[in-house]
């Protein structure tokens, strides 16, 4: 009895039973025959041998069957063993799947970016093998854009940043390293990153990092605000000091001449009365000018029209027109560069600022061939403009001081000393800087200032 697998099926007990019934039937028939017909010895021998052969066949049959049963037992054992093995394998597989899901979910849902790299070229470069969701969000790149590409390709600034060197070191030594907070920059991306690098047992490198840009910007903004507040405070202190100090001098003059006037009136000295009144009037006028300029300066800090794109050359030409009175006095050569860009400024304020610089240049030039140049520097990171003159220049020790309110180097010169303070304020409210370069030995001065030449970002104001 062979089944399709080639295994012989064991014979069931029913077959044995039928065979035994058959043998007993033979015995019964023989004795019945013997009793009725008195058979011979030969017949007896024949019958016995037939019986023995039958018994022998049953024994053989049984033995064979037992062997088959043993085979089946063995097969059953093997099957049970295999089933157990399969169950165990399935259980382990389930555990592995669960564990993989658990770790994948941690990998994907952590706030930190995680990138797994495989070293290539003997650790000279590293290929992205895995990249989590936070990484995609921080770097504004999908994982399809990075997996399989090298870190130097995806982040061209990584070598300059110093991280590539750390990757290589961790890959070589297997020692985990912390890469402290640093600003990463390339043409596409700019952000503060805090990295933690380690090596996996399979040899891959893992970078776990966080984006600290928001925090750093907030800190930077806070520091700027504090600095701005400190500057404003200092300015306010100077302002109060200056108000009390500078307004004191015309007040003292007025008070002094009022006393003299009183005496002259009593003495009926008409000549002196006229001159006293003149001096009081002059002091009052001076006070008025100073008060107006102080008001102007305090207004500049608060009042600035929204920046608009405007031709810097046009502003220069208008400022020259406004300073015509002072310029006509010396009639200088005015050279204006051709390459002046457009600027994003409050045109009215910048015109006022330029007028102050041009007015000063004309006021202080003491040469026979006065020259005033207005232009912009080439190849600088930010747009730098200048107003140059060939006047007496300013000694370096006064380069800071002259930008203070009512600070003059020569009290005998015309002007209140507020012009450069106004220039500085206007440039600063546009987010720029102003400074002077001069050796103060009669070779003239150059006043430099920076101005925005790109449209300001929405919501960003100075």
Binding site for ligand ADP (CB under 6 A): 360-361, 364, 389, 391-392, 394, 402, 407-410, 413, 415-421, 445
Among candidate residues 143, 144, 152, the one with its CA nearest the CA of residue 119: 152
Neighbours of 216 (CB within 10 A): 14
Among candidate residues 359, 351, 348, 290, the one with its CA nearest the CA of residue 326: 359
Closer CB to ligand ADP, 201 or 411, in the complex: 411
Spatial distance between the Cα atoms of 103 and 48, rounded to a whole number of angstroms: 81
**Minimum distance of ligand ADP from residue 360's CB (angstroms):** 4
Element housing 172 (H / E): helix 163-173
Query: Parallel, antiparallel, or unpaired: how do β-strands 205-211 and 190-199 relate?
Result: antiparallel
**Minimum distance of ligand ADP from residue 462's CB (angstroms):** 22
Closer CB to ligand ADP, 306 or 325, in the complex: 325
Spatial distance between the Cα atoms of 142 and 152, rounded to a whole number of angstroms: 17
**Minimum distance of ligand ADP from residue 379's CB (angstroms):** 26
**Minimum distance of ligand ADP from residue 451's CB (angstroms):** 19
Closer CB to ligand ADP, 294 or 394, in the complex: 394
**Minimum distance of ligand ADP from residue 250's CB (angstroms):** 16
Closer CB to ligand ADP, 135 or 375, in the complex: 375
Query: Phi/psi at 386 (nearest 5 deg)?
Result: -150, 155
**Minimum distance of ligand ADP from residue 227's CB (angstroms):** 24
Please, is 223 exposed, middle or buried when counting C-beta atoms within 10 Å of its C-beta (0-12, 13-18, 19+)?
A: exposed
Closer CB to ligand ADP, 276 or 293, in the complex: 293
Query: Parallel, antiparallel, or unpaired: how do β-strands 371-376 and 384-389 relate?
Result: antiparallel
Spatial distance between the Cα atoms of 173 and 199, rounded to a whole number of angstroms: 9
**Minimum distance of ligand ADP from residue 131's CB (angstroms):** 58
Report the b/e string of 315-343 with b at 16+ CB within 10 A: bbebbbebbeebbeebebebeebeebeeb
- Phi-psi bin for 379: left (phi > 0), alpha (psi -120 to 50), beta? left
**Minimum distance of ligand ADP from residue 420's CB (angstroms):** 3
Query: Phi/psi at 155 (nearest 5 deg)?
Result: -120, 85
Neighbours of 148 (CB within 10 A): 11
Among candidate residues 281, 285, 276, the one with its CA nearest the CA of residue 258: 276
Closer CB to ligand ADP, 421 or 429, in the complex: 421
Closer CB to ligand ADP, 119 or 353, in the complex: 353
Closer CB to ligand ADP, 206 or 446, in the complex: 446
Closer CB to ligand ADP, 208 or 287, in the complex: 287
**Minimum distance of ligand ADP from residue 396's CB (angstroms):** 13
């Amino acid at each position: 009895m062979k089944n399709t697998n080639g295994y012989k099926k064991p014979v069931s007990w029913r077959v044995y039973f039928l065979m035994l019934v058959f043998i007993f039937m033979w015995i019964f028939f023989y004795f019945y025959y013997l009793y009725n017909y008195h058979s011979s010895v030969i017949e007896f021998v024949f019958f016995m041998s037939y019986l023995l052969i039958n018994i022998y066949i049953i024994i053989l049959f049984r033995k064979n069957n037992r062997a088959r049963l043993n085979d089946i037992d063995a097969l059953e054992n093997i099957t049970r063993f295999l089933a157990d093995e399969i169950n165990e394998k399935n259980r382990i597989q389930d555990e592995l799947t669960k564990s993989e899901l658990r770790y994948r979910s941690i990998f994907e849902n952590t706030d930190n970016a995680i990138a797994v790299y495989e070293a290539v070229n003997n650790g000279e470069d590293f290929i992205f093998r895995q990249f989590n969701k936070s990484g995609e969000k921080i770097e504004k790149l999908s994982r399809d854009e990075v997996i399989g590409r090298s870190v130097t390709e995806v982040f061209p600034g990584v070598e300059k940043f110093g991280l590539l060197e750390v990757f290589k070191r961790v890959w070589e030594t297997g020692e985990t390293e912390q890469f402290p907070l640093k600003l990463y920059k390339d043409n596409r991306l700019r952000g503060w990153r805090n990295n933690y690098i380690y090596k996996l047992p399979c040899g891959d490198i893992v970078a776990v990092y966080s984006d600290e840009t928001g925090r750093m910007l907030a800190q930077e903004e806070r520091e700027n605000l504090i600095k701005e507040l400190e500057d404003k405070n200092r300015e306010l202190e100077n302002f109060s000091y200056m108000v009390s100090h500078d307004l004191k001098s015309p007040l003292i003059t007025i008070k002094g001449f009022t006393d003299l006037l009183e005496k002259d009136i009593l003495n009926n000295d008409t000549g002196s009365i006229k001159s006293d009144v003149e001096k009081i009037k002059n002091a009052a006028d001076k006070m008025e000018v100073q008060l107006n300029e102080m008001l102007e300066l305090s207004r500049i800090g608060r009042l600035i029209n929204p920046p608009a794109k405007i031709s810097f050359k046009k502003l220069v030409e208008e400022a020259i027109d406004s300073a015509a009175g002072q310029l006509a006095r010396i009639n200088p050569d005015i050279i204006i560069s051709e390459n002046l860009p457009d600027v994003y400024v409050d045109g009215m304020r910048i015109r006022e600022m330029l007028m102050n610089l041009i007015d000063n240049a004309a006021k202080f030039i003491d040469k026979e061939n006065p020259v005033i140049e207005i232009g912009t520097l080439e190849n600088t990171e930010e747009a730098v403009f200048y107003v140059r003159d060939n006047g007496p220049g300013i000694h370096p020790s006064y380069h800071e001081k002259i930008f203070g309110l009512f600070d003059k180097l020569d009290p005998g010169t015309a002007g209140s000393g507020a012009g450069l303070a106004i220039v500085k304020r206007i440039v600063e409210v546009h987010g720029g800087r102003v400074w002077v370069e001069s050796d103060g030995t009669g070779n003239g001065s150059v006043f430099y200032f920076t101005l925005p030449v790109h449209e300001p970002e929405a919501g960003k104001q100075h």
